[in-house]
Amino acid sequence: MEILLVIIIGLLYAAGIYMMLRRSLVKLIIGLILLGNGANLLIFLLGKIVKGKPPIIGASEKMLGEIYADPVPQALILTAIVISFGLQAFAIILIKRAYKVVKTDDLDEMNATDEDL
């Protein structure tokens, strides 16, 4: 299972970096989304995939003796998903506004000054 996730993470990183190197602003945002999903999977994989019970210590116990699921990577991923969703929403609105003003999504054409137009 871990090998499959490692391959998927590598493909997401490769596709994300490839898309970020394109000249289109839309492809840049898609690349950022892919890179963020790859990072979330990497954090999930580093937290180790185990089937276990929640990490709750009973009243009569002093420590956990059984295998338990680590909640920290899950909390980090949930936070990253919320932050990336806000970033994506802002970027989409920014792209829409830039396209309205400049009439293109090509980064090289957007880089031109007003005197060049």
Q: Which fold does the domain 2-51+70-101 belong to in CATH?
A: Helix Hairpins (1.10.287)
pLDDT at 73: 85
Q: What pLDDT sits at residue 42?
A: 93
Read off the pTM: 0.78
Neighbours of 35 (CB within 10 A): 19
pLDDT of 65 higher than 90: no
Residues 6+ apart with CB under 8 A from 43: 73, 76, 77, 80
For residue 71, how many C-alpha atoms fall within 13 Å in the half-sphere facing its CB? 4
State how far the Cα of 31 lies from the Cα of 66, in Å rounded to an integer. Answer: 41
Report the percent of the chain where pLDDT is more than 90.
Answer: 45
Tens-digit pLDDT profile for residues 10-55: 999 999 999 999 888 899 999 999 999 999 999 988 877 777 777 7
